[in-house]
Amino acid sequence: MRYIMHMKTAVLPQVRVAPELRAELESVLREDETLSGFVEASVRGAVEYRRIQEAFHARGDAAFRQFQRDGVARPAGKVLADLRAKLEAKRKQLKRGS
């Protein structure tokens, strides 16, 4: 944490947008939220989303390569059932946390 506090900041490139988009953006800012803060949060979210996408694709590629090597696959019904169970468990966890 100490290292991060002493790091220099950097500036993102200026982005030109149509006046209508700027007005629309400003209309959705929350109280005490700045345009810069909104842009930073949006960029952070997009970066995280891309990382998640890349990890997903890497796992899919690895699974396909494994299938090509050994020919062993899981039935689609089993995969879907496992995903449904994970989703239901997450829903219950989120409900308890509310």
- The per-residue pLDDT string of the chain (98 residues; one tens digit each, 9 = 90 and over) reads 555 566 788 999 999 999 999 999 999 999 999 999 999 999 999 999 999 999 999 999 999 999 999 999 999 999 999 999 999 999 999 999 87
What is the number of domains present in the chain? 1
Q: Is residue 13 part of a domain?
A: no
The string over 15-41, giving b where at least 16 C-beta atoms fall within 10 Å of a residue's C-beta and e elsewhere, is eeeeeeeeeeeeeeeeeeeeeeeeeee
The answer as to whether 39 is a domain residue is yes
Res 97: pLDDT: 81
Classify residue 2: in a domain, yes or no: no
Cβ atoms of residues 12 and 35 within 8 Å: no
Residues 6+ apart with CB under 8 A from 12: 39, 40, 43
Residue 25 neighbours by CB under 8 Å, 6+ apart: 17, 35, 38
Q: Is residue 3 part of a domain?
A: no
Task: Report yes or no on 63 lying in a domain.
Answer: yes
